[in-house]
């Protein structure tokens, strides 16, 4: 559970703890511990690797949660699988999966868990160019994952809101969300999220004819390690964008 709470705050420590938890759970025959460890590993792989790398962990977590009758865990694992579909461009399949989970998820999930479900729905609508629906779900997710209870997920939501606003050309408002996201966490502990936020800040400042102010952001992105501990295995394009 500590690994889960650190997913967006300290990505390197989160996966280290998840790996350790999995080893302990397997040694002790602790099915619930294994389920949470695999869930945390699955989501980490969604962010830092490929959906096909994450899917086996998420499916295993779902089976374990189902065997224990843990509906919250089931919904989170299914949400992760839906996010994987979204990453593969299968937006309609992803949306159908998370909409089927929405009502029960709102009843049994709390804080950043609920925000994660709502944000996945928002991402599907964003990919379908349905910005009104996307904003509605993102803002609801932000209300459910406030700084005091969001475990850093509010930074993700600010990042996604900024990205949606960029698509609509509202650079002033997008910049506000970028700044809010950057203020919420130690960028060195989640370099992938930092990369996205800084790239969005570069775009905002450039469009606002303040491009010279973006030079430090470009330098920060280029300085992030280009391996799995930094941007992830498939995201070297952040440096190219910078």
- Average confidence (pLDDT) over 56-78: 97
User: Has residue 83 got a pLDDT over 80?
Assistant: yes
C-alpha count within 13 angstroms, C-beta hemisphere, residue 111: 11
Q: How confident is the model at residue 150 (pLDDT cuts 50, 70, 90)?
A: confident
Q: Tell whether the model's pLDDT for residue 174 goes beyond 60.
A: yes
User: What share of the chain in percent tops pLDDT 90?
Assistant: 72
Question: Does residue 228 surpass a pLDDT of 70?
Answer: no
In terms of C-beta density within 10 A (0-12 exposed, 13-18 middle, 19 or more buried), how is residue 74 classed?
Answer: buried
How large a percentage of the chain has pLDDT more than 70?
Answer: 91
Q: What is the pLDDT of residue 192?
A: 83
With beta carbons less than 8 A apart as the criterion, state whether 158 and 184 touch.
yes
Q: Which residues lie closer than 8 Å to 105 by C-beta, 6 or more apart?
A: 75, 79, 114, 117
Tens digits of per-residue pLDDT, 104-140?
A: 999 999 988 999 999 999 999 999 999 999 999 999 9
What local confidence, expressed as pLDDT, does residue 223 receive? Answer: 83
Assign 180 to helix, strand or coil.
helix
Nearest C-alpha neighbor of 195 from the set 167, 159, 161, 164: 159
180 or 230, which is more confident: 180
Mean pLDDT within 23-47:
96
Asked if pLDDT for residue 229 goes beyond 90, the answer is: no
Give the residue-averaged pLDDT of 19-25. Answer: 97
Cα separation, 188 vs 200, whole angstroms: 17
Q: Is the pLDDT of residue 183 over 80?
A: yes
Least Cα distance to 203 among 214, 212, 194 occurs for: 214
């Amino acid at each position: 559970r500590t690994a889960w709470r650190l997913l967006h705050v300290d990505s390197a420590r989160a996966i280290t703890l998840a790996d350790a938890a999995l080893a302990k759970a397997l040694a002790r025959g602790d099915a619930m511990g294994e389920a949470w460890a695999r869930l945390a590993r699955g989501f980490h792989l969604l962010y830092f690797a490929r959906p096909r790398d994450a899917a086996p962990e998420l499916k295993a977590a779902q089976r374990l949660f189902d065997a224990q009758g843990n509906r919250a865990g089931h919904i989170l694992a299914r949400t992760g699988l839906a996010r994987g579909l979204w990453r593969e461009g299968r937006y309609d399949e992803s949306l159908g999966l998370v909409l089927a989970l929405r009502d029960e998820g709102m009843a049994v999930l709390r804080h950043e868990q609920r925000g994660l479900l709502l944000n996945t729905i928002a991402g599907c609508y964003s990919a379908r160019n349905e910005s009104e629906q996307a904003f509605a779900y993102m803002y609801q997710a932000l209300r459910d994952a406030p700084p005091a209870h969001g475990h850093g997920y509010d930074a993700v939501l600010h990042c996604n809101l900024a990205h949606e606003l960029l698509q609509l050309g509202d650079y002033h408002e997008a910049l506000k969300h970028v700044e809010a996201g950057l203020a919420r966490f130690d960028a060195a502990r989640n370099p992938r999220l930092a990369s996205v936020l800084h790239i969005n800040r570069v775009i905002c400042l450039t469009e606002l004819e303040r491009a010279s102010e973006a030079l430090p952001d470009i330098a920060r992105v280029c300085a992030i390690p280009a391996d799995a501990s930094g941007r992830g295995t498939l995201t070297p394009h952040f440096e190219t964008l910078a």
